[in-house]
């Protein structure tokens, strides 16, 4: 019980630290941002709110100004079941990418962040 309390407390410290030190959003022209918004309609991030790797991934989404959908795989039973049934495992962060009728499930924060930087940093 003590470990659970410590884990919850530490998670809240991580989330608070993220809010206090969040980088500014990338500024783009209205046309460029509209293109990013359109491209992001196929992105869904499955995450736990206080997971440090998920926080790191959300910070990248924020910094790049990419409005991906977020799903709480810890507290939302439907999101958790979708992650398991379609993604194959309950591991977060996981980015679901839907493009041209094809769905890809990308695990690991470093892989996801590299993908986001390659796809949206130059936009």
Domains in the chain: boundaries: 2-24+32-120
- 74 membership: H or E segment, kind and range: none
15: how many CB neighbours lie within 10 A of its CB?
A: 17
Residue-averaged pLDDT of the chain: 92
Fold of 2-24+32-120: Glutaredoxin (3.40.30)
The mean pLDDT value for 80-96 works out to 97
pLDDT of residue 46: 98
Checking if the pLDDT of 8 tops 80, the result is no
* 76: Cβ contacts below 8 Å, ≥ 6 apart: none
Checking if the pLDDT of 93 tops 80, the result is yes
- Give per-residue pLDDT as tens, 10-62: 777 877 877 778 889 989 999 999 999 999 999 999 999 999 999 999 999 99
DSSP one-letter code for 100: T
């Amino acid at each position: 019980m003590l470990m659970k309390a410590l884990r919850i407390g530490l998670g809240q410290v991580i989330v608070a630290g993220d809010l206090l030190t969040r980088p500014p959003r990338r500024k783009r022209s209205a046309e460029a941002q509209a293109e990013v918004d359109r491209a992001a309609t196929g992105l869904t991030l499955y995450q736990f709110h206080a997971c440090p790797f998920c926080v790191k991934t959300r910070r990248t989404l924020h910094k790049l100004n990419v409005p991906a959908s977020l799903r709480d795989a810890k507290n939302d039973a439907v999101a958790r079941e979708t992650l398991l049934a379609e993604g194959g495992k309950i591991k977060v962060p996981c980015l679901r990418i839907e493009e041209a009728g094809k769905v890809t499930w990308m695990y690991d924060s470093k892989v996801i962040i590299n993908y986001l930087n390659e796809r949206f940093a130059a936009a």
